[in-house]
Amino acid sequence: MARLDEPDAPRSPYKPGNGLEPPYLGDRGAQLERFGAFLADPSTPHNVVVTGLRGVGKTVLLQRYSIEARKAGWLVADREFSEADAEPSMFAQRVLADLTRLTRDLSLSRRLKDAAGGAVDRVTDLLGNLTVSYEGLELGYSPGRRSSKTPKQMLDDDLRDALREVGRLCQKSDHTGFILQYDEFQVVKEERRELTLSALLAATAAVQREGIPVMLVLCGLPTILENLGRSKSYSERMFTVEHIGHLHPPEDRLAFTGPAEARGRRFTDQVVEAVLLDTQGYPFFIQLYGDALWKGTNAQPVIAEDDFRQLRPGIVDGLDRSFFESRYRRASAREQRVLRAMAAGGGEASTIEDLRQRLQMSNSELQPLLRFLVEKGLIYRPTRGHLAFTAPMFGAFLRRRRDDAA
């Protein structure tokens, strides 16, 4: 029997990790089908928002979008946004830098060279000048540039011009169009009418009405929808929203059992039911459990209930020390108190009223803390007046943590 440290030991087919595509991409066929239809129809404006809780596979879906888009002849600029990128001066630079990169990709097109002459150089010069103009805090007030408009109006105009020119180059090339695909985009929000999201939406909508083949694909936590709505009232008409969640039956079962069966191993029904009960269809946990059970059972053909009972404590302990503890530490001391109070009810969810009574807090005190916890991706509101943890088993972790501390 092969040992795990032997070179011929079968490698685990499971891929627990951030942005790693699992061997079975469950429950995402409808999203890929819709996106494929958008790619095949460049003359009609399409934009997509992918949203869901952490760990449900949003980034994996984006990666598949990129693959399918490039196969269909689209250029794609991918970027994962950070809090620093969302700052007004940085936001303009990041978007313009992506357009510059796309223009350089277009310059490799033989058809474009034949048809457009110096068009690429002119667009590159335009984008380079704009990027320089947005380097400081004094947005848009570089010498020689129009100064009769507000910085916001200038960013609207500059982005529109840049999108238009890159789109025209695509139309002269062997590329269908171009896509700006941004992950973790919930960090981009407009407060005090700063120069970020509304400028991008306004510029994109304007050039799409002109028939320019550009698409926005924005991905982030559920707060991204609120940010878009506050930025532009027409955003709900501008985007197709793809809500990505936990895997539903039978996709959750297939995601767990399929990779092992493809390698000639299987789980007993009792193990499958126990794993699905723990993971609740959470894609990251399904991969993590599968990986741990695969590696912990020495390549035996059937992984049985005794194996699960032996290995589960180590799996849970590993989650506690890394996954759950790091999430807990994202919260402030007052927010941690709210999390513990949610878990004190014995489950993975709570009503706001029960929580308020446990904490002896007024609604005005509690609501800001809940908002911060939602923004940090630790809780969500499944229905009005109700709260739940974004990851399964987090409430149980908090109760274990409390018992250990006691």
> Is there a single domain that holds both residue 190 and residue 81?
yes
| Residue pointed to by tokens 């991905």 | 219
Q: Is residue 81 part of a domain?
A: yes
From 243, 269, 285, the end of a domain falls on 243
Q: Please indicate whether residue 254 or residue 402 has the higher confidence score (pLDDT).
A: 254
Same domain? 126 vs 238: yes
- Whether 236 maps to a domain, the answer reads yes
**Is the Cβ–Cβ distance between 255 and 291 less than 8 Å?**
no
Q: Within a domain: residue 309?
A: no
Domain range enclosing 177? 29-243
Q: Is residue 248 part of a domain?
A: no
Question: Are 45 and 163 members of one domain?
Answer: yes
Cα–Cα distance, 59 to 65 (Å, whole number): 10
- What are 264-303's pLDDT values in tens digits? 999 999 999 999 999 999 999 999 999 999 999 988 999 9
Q: Which residues sit opposite 219 in a β-bridge?
A: 50
CATH number of 227's domain: 3.40.50.300
Q: Identify the pLDDT of residue 3.
A: 37
User: pLDDT of 162-187, one tens digit each?
Assistant: 999 899 888 888 899 999 999 999 99
Question: Residues 6 or more apart from 357 whose CB is under 8 A from it?
Answer: none
Percentage, residues of the chain above pLDDT 70: 87
Average pLDDT estimate for 62-84 = 96
Is position 208 within any domain? yes
Residue where one domain finishes, among candidates 243, 278, 307: 243
Report the domain count for the chain: 2
Type of residue at 61: L
Domain boundary (243, 261, 286) is at 243
Residue 264 placed within a domain: no
pLDDT band at 2 (very low <50, low <70, confident <90, very high): very low
Q: What is the pLDDT of residue 246?
A: 94
Please report, for the domain that includes residue 353, its CATH number.
1.10.10.10
Establish if 41 belongs to a structural domain. Answer: yes
Rounded Cα gap, residues 397 and 343, in angstroms: 9
> What's the chain's average pLDDT?
88
- Tens digits of per-residue pLDDT, 89-114? 788 889 988 998 998 888 877 566 55
* Domain-embedded: residue 235: yes
Other beta carbons within 10 angstroms of residue 257's beta carbon come to: 22
